[in-house]
A and B are shown apart, each in its own frame.
Chain A
């Protein structure tokens, strides 16, 4: 009698190594990948739920004014108060400054661990240069800040379209200019904070130090500017066409005043530089200096890995 063959209880498979024969991109693909990876990190994607809480909570918080404004408009739609705006599109760019906390946490998280964990030699063993790294990091943060600043504006615009007494199309026609003003102002705002935040983060390997340094830069520069403007006699509480060019020292004011230029064509009179001779040109020049200076420092900082 023959013993029946029994199937094996288990088996070990050595799947071996398979060469990769698929699509393979070059330097451009590597750059795009670095942007993608940085955006994923900023949004907490493929990370624990704790890393997701902050970005998405801040997006929700940034959207609150839009939702409230649309809600009030809906409630008062058949009353004279319907024409009153709690917040305008221009002012909403300024409200995005609430995202400063997000930038102060995200920018260091994008840059500092690469130095602290000594990942840079590994990144630059791929087809990437220091300039690619700088552009990818600043680009990724610009995209994320743009998204978080722009989406609430979309909520505001679309919401008001539907509650406007003149109808959605009528509202869109009357406010057609914000279709270009909002994205331009938000893009300028996002580039400003992304460049400055990444540059400050590149000075240290510690995230906490970088975040505190960014917030300190904002607070101290704002206080210094406010003090200097007040010192020449202006009342900072009611600063109507009584500001001075010292106001240009306030880091937090520059992108907001640039938004004024985009929406109004001039700087808001009720601001630190309001009413000062050459305030518009001054704001534009300081904006360019901060962005160019930050990018220049970053290129210098990562030049050795070319």
Chain B
């Protein structure tokens, strides 16, 4: 089994209108749960459509789970599940019928498709609602039905386009929990989203694109590295503590009356001791000391455009 979920080499796509959606994109995406991150119009959906063989690249090549899409653009879809961003379910049919239908369309025999539909609807938490028409479903239930149809044929990979779009906080939590479980089922997931927090929480790899070009690719944890700063929260008097630490030769940035960022160069333990002792000397209540990490948002915003 090929270890790559997706490989793109010099991938370009120019729409007939002249818009360059992807420009020389070269990236190897390992299997697992991978976030495809970018602002609206960055080229995420275009990349998904190229992976599905629904668009032909203007230049370059794309492989999905080791299969060159150009060689067999139809056949490669048998190994892929797809969950579009927009509403795409017939409202007059039950969830069980819709999911079974898409199981059949993926090549499963009718009986097996119905059996699998029942199982995956159970898995996404729609066991009791599966015989109700989709027209009466909430947004969260529709999103789960879309996820169920994507995994009903047990694909090698699912392409999820903004899976948490339009969901309330609880629905979002539940959807992210489901997406996070996919890798455990042996299904790799490419999650296209502009919500970096979602990626940071469930994806072990991240690919950032902007304007059709690659900005970053790698393990999420490697990107969300330590900043070398310590966030210190006290009761009022952060300015006095900042002065004291400055005298001790520690670089400090005052955030507000109760918060300061302390630069950690060299021995982190020594700096922690200085902060603790300084707060004690000034009679300040030390509420929290945390190591600051970059968020994906910061990483995305810091990149030169």
The residue of chain A having its C-beta at the shortest distance from the C-beta of B48 within the complex is A125
Complex contact B106–A126 (CB within 8 A): yes
Q: Is A56 an interface residue (CB 8 A)?
A: no
Q: State which residues 52-109 of B face A: CB under 8 Å.
A: 52, 54, 74-75, 77-78, 80-82, 84, 86-93, 97, 101-102, 104-109
Which residues from A are CB-within-8-Å of B87?
A: 117-118
Q: State which residues 232-266 of B face A: CB under 8 Å.
A: none
| Interface-facing stretch out of B26-34, B115-123, B196-204, B274-282 | B115-123
Closest-CB distance, A272 to chain B (whole angstroms): 40
Complex contact A27–B74 (CB within 8 A): yes
Chain B residue total in the interface (Cβ 8 A): 41
| Interface-facing stretch out of A32-40, A63-71, A143-151, A171-179 | A32-40
Q: Is A221 an interface residue (CB 8 A)?
A: no
Work out how many contacts link A and B, with CB atoms closer than 8 A: 109
Complex contact A128–B74 (CB within 8 A): yes
**Which of B92, B105, B149 has its CB near the most chain A CB atoms (within 10 A)?**
B105
Q: Is A282 an interface residue (CB 8 A)?
A: no
Which residues from B are CB-within-8-Å of A305?
A: 54
Complex contact A123–B105 (CB within 8 A): yes
Closest-CB distance, B165 to chain A (whole angstroms): 14
Q: Is B154 an interface residue (CB 8 A)?
A: yes
Q: Is A22 an interface residue (CB 8 A)?
A: yes
Given contacts A24-B108, A37-B101, contact A15 B88 (CB under 8 A): no
In Å, the complex CA distance between A156 and B217 comes to: 71
Closest-CB distance, B89 to chain A (whole angstroms): 7
Given contacts A119-B89, A305-B54, contact A127 B97 (CB under 8 A): no
**Secondary structure dominating the interface of A:** loop
Given contacts A26-B75, A27-B75, A126-B106, contact A20 B153 (CB under 8 A): yes
Closest-CB distance, B212 to chain A (whole angstroms): 21
Q: Is A237 an interface residue (CB 8 A)?
A: no
Complex contact B84–A23 (CB within 8 A): no
Q: Is A122 an interface residue (CB 8 A)?
A: yes
**Which of A17, A23, A119, A123 has its CB near the most chain B CB atoms (within 10 A)?**
A17
In Å, the complex CA distance between A15 and B115 comes to: 14
Q: Is A124 an interface residue (CB 8 A)?
A: yes
Closest-CB distance, A67 to chain B (whole angstroms): 34
Which residues from B are CB-within-8-Å of A113?
A: 90, 92
| Pick from A25, A37, A117: contact of B88, CB under 8 Å | A117
Which residues from A are CB-within-8-Å of B105?
A: 30, 33-34, 37, 123, 126, 128
Complex contact B107–A30 (CB within 8 A): yes
Complex contact A127–B74 (CB within 8 A): yes
Complex contact A33–B89 (CB within 8 A): no
In Å, the complex CA distance between A201 and B302 comes to: 51
In Å, the complex CA distance between A228 and B116 comes to: 59
Which residues from A are CB-within-8-Å of B89?
A: 117, 119
The residue of chain B having its C-beta at the shortest distance from the C-beta of A118 within the complex is B88
In Å, the complex CA distance between A20 and B111 comes to: 13
In Å, the complex CA distance between A126 and B93 comes to: 19
Q: Is B166 an interface residue (CB 8 A)?
A: no
Which residues from A are CB-within-8-Å of B106?
A: 24, 30, 126-127
Q: List 17 A-B contacts (CB under 8 A).
A: A17-B119, A17-B181, A17-B184, A19-B154, A20-B153, A20-B154, A22-B109, A24-B78, A118-B87, A121-B54, A121-B82, A122-B102, A125-B52, A125-B84, A126-B105, A127-B75, A128-B105
Residues of B that sit less than 8 Å from A by CB:
52, 54, 74-75, 77-78, 80-82, 84, 86-93, 97, 101-102, 104-110, 112, 116, 119-120, 122-123, 149, 153-154, 181, 184-186
